[in-house]
Amino acid sequence: QVVKREGSGTESPMIGDKVTVHYTGWLLDGTKFDSSLDRKDKFSFDLGKGSEVIKAWDIAVATMKVGEICRITCKPEYAYGSAGSPPKIPPNATLIFEIELFEFKGEDLTDDEDGGIIRRIRKKGEGYSKPNEGALVEIQFEGRYGDRVFDRRELRFEIGEGDNYDLPHGLEKAIQKMEKSEESVFYLKPNYGFGSAGKEKFQIPPDAELQYEVKLKSFEKAKESWEMNTDEKLEQSCIVKERGTQYFKEGKYKQAALQYKKIVSWLEHESGLSDEEETKAKSLRLAAHLNLAMCHLKLKEYSQALENCNKALELDSNNEKGLFRRGEAHLAVNDFELARGDFQKVIQLYPSNKAAKVQLVTCQQKIREQHEKEKKMYANMFQRLADKDLKSAATLQTSHTEDEEMKDEQNGVEDKSEVDTEA
């Protein structure tokens, strides 16, 4: 590798970075076989993936700086080997490339690709397995805010319970993308870090961007649904239900919801159960959906609250909590008629439910206010239309009068003209 032009800065691309280059390739006899410059189209690839470019490129580009131009000579084993790449590259060909590096950026790990979690891999991990939700992980990490290290620890914890250890949810999400022994740097935007609340314990202000360096030392994956028999699913469901309830009592609604979702994923499609197992599974699923609805109400996620209420009511159509919480969700999004229907049904089935009576009064008041508002709106609209009609009529009358006056004036002119002629 020969550097033909020095680059700028001190950083080079890391494994997994998206790099953008221009290149030209020649055979040893000087035959040009490919060039992005000729196509006037830069080439981008993910560094170090092992499948996107030849091995020599992964090695060479990892050493470059932005703006650098280098020439590399690639032996066959670092290029296309004994197979070559017909028709342009023969077997066992040594190749020469000139590469210019334009930019590189870390890998976006977010579902929406909003740049909220960016990973840069310092050291590639082993194998292909990654931690899942509920996995027991052992990590060594350092958290930075600006130039200040605010947290440095070795920690063993279960994915989904990071909040108990003062870890931001974005970091847990990032760890689930790691391989064993991987060492990576993660850049978290505020909504994946400590958010608008900040973290007083670490003197992190609101809306702070964070950086974490993490080594995943080891992990034990949690059993997936298909790996558990019915007894295990029922047993684990009882355990996570209790854990979820504890989180809920502590006001940790997101963590609680994660636990209840496990019950749904394990038992929703379970078949071939005995009567006793079916009864227990149905009871656990019902509790999970009701509790999820409550979590989503607390988090102001009303569409998800409605979805879980409906799921609960599919299992028990007259369930008091299911009807009441669905009424609350309807009320929160101003669907007053639907909310009233749910609260009325609660009172009809459970006459002693005082909360439903209070909410029914609220609904009726809201409906009256809505009707009054609509009445005023329509009255104003009709008044505007009436005013418009009056204005149009007045304009028409004025126009008619002007036409009559003009006609009289024209007649007067004609009469005068005739008199003048006669004279």
Q: Mind telling me the catalytic residues?
A: 23, 33-34, 54, 80, 97
Asked whether the beta carbons of 52 and 59 are under 8 A apart, the reply is no
CA–CA gap between residue 42 and residue 25 (Å, rounded): 14
Q: Which residues are 99's β-sheet partners? A: 23, 70
Asked whether the beta carbons of 19 and 45 are under 8 A apart, the reply is yes
CA–CA gap between residue 228 and residue 223 (Å, rounded): 7
DSSP assignment of 226-293 equals GGS-HHHHHHHHHHHHHHHHHHHHTT-HHHHHHHHHHHHHHHTT--S--HHHHHHHHHHHHHHHHHHH
How far is the first Cα of the chain from the last one, in angstroms, to the nearest whole number?
115
Residue at token pair 């590399």: 72
371 C-beta neighbours (distance < 10 Å), count: 10
211 C-beta neighbours (distance < 10 Å), count: 17
Tell me the C-alpha to C-alpha distance, in Å, between residue 120 and each of 104, 107, 185: 10, 7, 5
CA–CA gap between residue 28 and residue 26 (Å, rounded): 6
Asked whether the beta carbons of 159 and 223 are under 8 A apart, the reply is no
CA–CA gap between residue 400 and residue 403 (Å, rounded): 5
Tell whether omega for the bond before 205 is within 30 degrees of 0, i.e. cis.
no
Asked whether the beta carbons of 306 and 289 are under 8 A apart, the reply is no
CA–CA gap between residue 35 and residue 41 (Å, rounded): 9
